[in-house]
Structure 1
Amino acid sequence: MQPAQSAQLSRIKIFVSAHKPAVFPDCASILPIQVGAANAEAAGKPLFENTLHDNTGDNISEKNPMYCELTAQYWAWKNADADYYGFCHYLRYFDFTTTEHKQNSYGEIIDTAINAESIAEYGLDDAAIAQAVEGWDVITTPLNNVREFDGFTNLKDHWDADPHLQLKDLRHMYDVLCAMHPDYREDADAVLNGTRAAFCNMFIMKKAIFQEYCSWLFPILSEFTAHWDHSAADVQTLRTPGHLSERLLNIFLAHKQRTGANWKIKRLQCVHFTNPEPFSPLEPLDTNPRFTVPVLFAADDNYVPMLTTTIYSMLKNASCERHYDVIVLERNISAENKQNITDFLAQFENATVRFYDVSRAIDGFNLTTNNAHISIETYYRFIIQEALPFYKKVLYLDCDMVVNGDISELYDTDLGNNAIGAVPDIDFIGNLNMKNGERAEYAKHQLHMTKPYGYFQAGVLAMNLEKMREIHSVHEWLEIAQQPGFIYNDQDILNMECEGSVTYLPYAWNVMHDCGGRVHGVFDFAPASMFQEYMDSRKSPKIVHYADYDKPWKNPWCDFGPLYWNYASKTPFSLQMMALLAGIEPPQHHERAIAEDSPIRKYVDVLAPIGSKQRELMKVAVRKVQGKH
């Protein structure tokens, strides 16, 4: 019998609770269910498509604010028939494979999206699920030791550390349990005074065990809530019954094992997906493609003021006869900043501003840069050819520049069969003529360029996507990007791989400013004709590029600084940029070392408040454990 057939016969049903749209593995054993559907419907919100809903049949859906994912558990108990009942969350699943995966210090495997690769990696399919589940009585997440979290003495101490959970409520639950089931007192004492427990309310049980557990659990919670004053409870405190059920599950299993059930209990790792939401690919605009100019940028949340300045300058000088598809490649720009950007740029009726999350495209690649002023976002241009399959040609611009001319003129440049349209890099070429010969050696031996004087600057690119796709796939581009030894990272890679397939643009389309006196210290080492073209372009620049460290938002006296501030001062982020001038850095919104909804996070907030030295030390320590920087 094949494993998939076995899964059908055993009727394994793993209900995946969700309160927001998400991507779910597509297999018969996994059944997504919207929790709190009754409240959503009462609020006039549409229910999720292609999922079960916890407000049908015999249900307690309206109790979801208190019971959390238990409303799905109750629904399954009353309305579903299976041989095995399991419960996961839209962002947390069991790892059904036999492979031991690296996990963080809080017992979670951290991954990004649910896709074909991760489904295979963690066995989120019928065959792997059947193989992992059949023959076991109960499956839970691993037993975590709360001493290893933050030195908690026991589970009661662990509970009390949460600012939203009251110790009196835990005691109330204990009293209810002991009154209803006196024989459980010994096990409740052992669990609550102990240090180990399975968290996350994730489990899989055989039918008879699941029915016994629900018949035991829900009356206890019903009795608890009947005498629980939660009239002034905040949103998190209101979830107390859900938190209690985590402890009750451990007490239930401890009692059954102590009293001779001898259940075969298995512990499977828990994988936490940080981006389980559906991915919406970009679609072609409903505009005449002959008049559409697609322009792409890459930025993070801290670079929003500069991004907005560059886009504003571009649209301010753009032709009214064309439509501009402005696409920002990003993975952490806040919803608020996205709204601020689109609201501000709505003044340009001939432009559409869109955002594209690159997280999935770069997932699994270790991308680093060798220069402090070059960010990871620089690699995003490599995914354009796949992200925009409906475009044959696009423009890409860095965000540390202002556009002083009509960008449609640049877009209309005929690239022929060449992959790239770009301006020669006067800085790199000037270095080629230095006596020490270091840059010439680098171009020859690291970049393997036969004509290094053709090296171009990649801050302004006209990209022939069809030709780029012929040269490399996105995966191949990113694999090359992981290789060490590059000085200018993606720019070096583009020059190395696109040599001989470049249309050279007039210098006016990428006038690099005089950073650190390089015009007459580096640029003037370039061949005379090149240097003269550059100097001529400074008189009437169509794009000024503030490349390198001397930025106008750090030094308003820098070369072309007044031109930059002429545009920057008009944006809603001008005060933020002025704060940068005053040396006030923006808050650092790193990826959370501890997930927002992690069962551990609330205790960390007490012991190491946000902004404290302890908090910063903890974040460093946790990221080291997670293998992050």
Structure 2
Amino acid sequence: MGYSPHRSLNELYQKESDRVDICEVIEPAFPRVDAAVCLVASNEYAPFASVVIQSIIENAKREKNYDIVVFTDDMFLYNRERIEAQAKELCNISIRVMDITKIIENLNFYTWAQFTPNTYYRLLAPDLFAQYPKVIYLDSDIVVNHDIAELYVTDLEGYYMAAAYDTHVVAYCTQTPPLEQRAYNKETLKMKYPEQYFQAGIALYNVTLLNETFETGYLIHEATKYQLKWLDQDLVNMLFQDKIKRLPNKWNVMIANVPYATDEYYLPADLRKEYYQARLDPYIVHYVGKAIPCFAEDPDLYEFFWFYARKTIFYELLLQKMCQKNTEYTSMPHVHELYRRINELETALAGSAAVPKPSLKKRIKALLMPIFNLFFPKGSNRRYRFKRSYFRLRGWEI
């Protein structure tokens, strides 16, 4: 009997779940592993994980062995099989998609905005890769443009992990005057050097040292105790102070949603120079904050993403996502309602001779901001896109 189109996706997943690999301690896929790589991906992000893996494959060396494992708690079987099939003709690359549902089913994590509990699952990597000396963790919103095995050989003696600076957050701390992020790093995270804040989306974990220092499950359970601004990334910066080796920025070139207004402009001169040089030959491009080219209105360094995306089975689906994103915004009913209210209020207030021009703007803002903030939270991509659309409607430039 076939699946009814009216069944929920969760029901479909449950039907498939008895046919997937349940994740326990992972055994190496090769006698000699030249790069062990861990990703986390939901079913929604399966196409993006596929692009990451394809980018690793395209830059891999034939004489090296690459052991790739994807953690998931909801990926459908057909997407798992598509991802694993990317290496079916390659004897030096292993791809396994493994279910971590039983490991995290009783854990609760703090989230906000676009973040999901999936971001915490990378903290499982040192536990589940206990049979390996090291493991590289990669977010699913990146592309690798270099041989990942070169990152794997990084010397980690005395360090829990290696990572690049989070150039966005560092810029928040180093601009004049600094944003509240600097005080947060000092007061909440207890960082001695608040400007030395690392990005956890690309990280090389020293599995041996971590498992010698912490009990199994320590990191993932510790994460349930906090409500931190940048979630598990804050936790790692807090717990691993002085034990994180800085990677060159080329291993994590962070991309902004607004390429002509990058946070990196506010970096100290040496770090700013390193960032812009890394953009010329990025080893890893990181499309943070929904800056993936099929979502972003003004995609930055998009050519790297599409070069690898078009080589995956998900290419047409990614194009569809891009088309949906471009039409979704202007078709949202609340956007049209907000436009209507703006026009009505401006007409009514402009007709009152007793209201001077400055007060007009203040009254419009006071009336609109509650509903505006409800549908378009501060800092969200939706808010930015609305502002651009509204200003263009009015014939203004931004």
Name the TM-score, length of structure 1 as normaliser.
0.47
String of CA shifts for 1:601-627, please: whole Å, max 9, x gaps.
xxxxxxxxxxxxxxxxxxxxxxxxxxx
Tell me whether 1:408 sits opposite 2:157 in the alignment: no
1:301 to 43, 47, 54: 43
2:109 to 364, 367, 371: 367
Match of 1:458, as an amino acid? A
* Aligned counterpart, 1:597: none
Q: Cα–Cα, structure 1 residues 507 and 322, in superposed 2: closer, same or farther, change >3 Å?
A: same
* Aligned counterpart, 1:428: 169
| Moved beyond 6 Å, runs of 4+ | 274-278
Residue pairs, 1:535-554, within 5 angstroms: 535-554=276-295
* Aligned counterpart, 1:503: 245
Q: Conserved in 2, the CA contact under 8 Å of 1:295 and 1:324?
A: yes
Tell me whether 1:393 sits opposite 2:137 in the alignment: no
Residue pairs, 1:532-571, within 5 angstroms: 532-555=273-296, 557-571=298-312
Q: Cα–Cα, structure 1 residues 483 and 466, in superposed 2: closer, same or farther, change >3 Å?
A: same
Tell me whether 1:348 sits opposite 2:90 in the alignment: yes
Match of 2:146, as an amino acid? G
Shift of 1:538: 0.7
Tell me whether 1:383 sits opposite 2:124 in the alignment: yes
1:324 to 66, 75, 98: 66
Q: How far apart in 1 are the matches of 2:124 and 2:201?
A: 16
* Aligned counterpart, 1:580: 321
Q: How far apart in 1 are the matches of 2:288 and 2:270?
A: 22
Q: How far apart in 2 are the matches of 1:276 and 1:352?
A: 22
Match of 1:358, as an amino acid? I
Residue pairs, 1:182-581, within 5 angstroms: 279=22, 281-285=24-28, 287-289=30-32, 291-372=33-114, 374-434=115-175, 435=177, 437-517=179-259, 520-555=261-296, 557-581=298-322
Match of 1:299, as an amino acid? A
Q: Cα–Cα, structure 1 residues 391 and 438, in superposed 2: closer, same or farther, change >3 Å?
A: same
Q: How far apart in 2 are the matches of 1:276 and 1:567?
A: 32
Secondary structure of the 1:454 match is: coil
Q: How far apart in 1 are the matches of 2:325 and 2:285?
A: 25
In percent, how many aligned pairs have the same letter? 28
Shift of 1:406: 0.7
Q: How far apart in 1 are the matches of 2:95 and 2:170?
A: 36
* Aligned counterpart, 2:355: none
Q: Cα–Cα, structure 1 residues 495 and 515, in superposed 2: closer, same or farther, change >3 Å?
A: same
Q: Cα–Cα, structure 1 residues 524 and 331, in superposed 2: closer, same or farther, change >3 Å?
A: same
Name the TM-score, length of structure 2 as normaliser.
0.73
Match of 1:369, as an amino acid? T
Secondary structure of the 1:453 match is: coil
Secondary structure of the 2:37 match is: strand
Q: Cα–Cα, structure 1 residues 371 and 319, in superposed 2: closer, same or farther, change >3 Å?
A: farther
Q: Conserved in 2, the CA contact under 8 Å of 1:370 and 1:488?
A: no
Q: Conserved in 2, the CA contact under 8 Å of 1:401 and 1:544?
A: yes
Higher RCO, 1 vs 2 (CA within 8 Å, ≥6 residues apart): 2
Q: Cα–Cα, structure 1 residues 551 and 283, in superposed 2: closer, same or farther, change >3 Å?
A: closer
Match of 1:563, as an amino acid? F
Q: Cα–Cα, structure 1 residues 361 and 413, in superposed 2: closer, same or farther, change >3 Å?
A: same
Shift of 1:466: 2.0
Q: Conserved in 2, the CA contact under 8 Å of 1:419 and 1:502?
A: yes
Look at both structures and tell me which one has the larger radius of gyration over its CA atoms. Answer: 1
Q: How far apart in 2 are the matches of 1:410 and 1:472?
A: 24
Shift of 1:556: 7.1
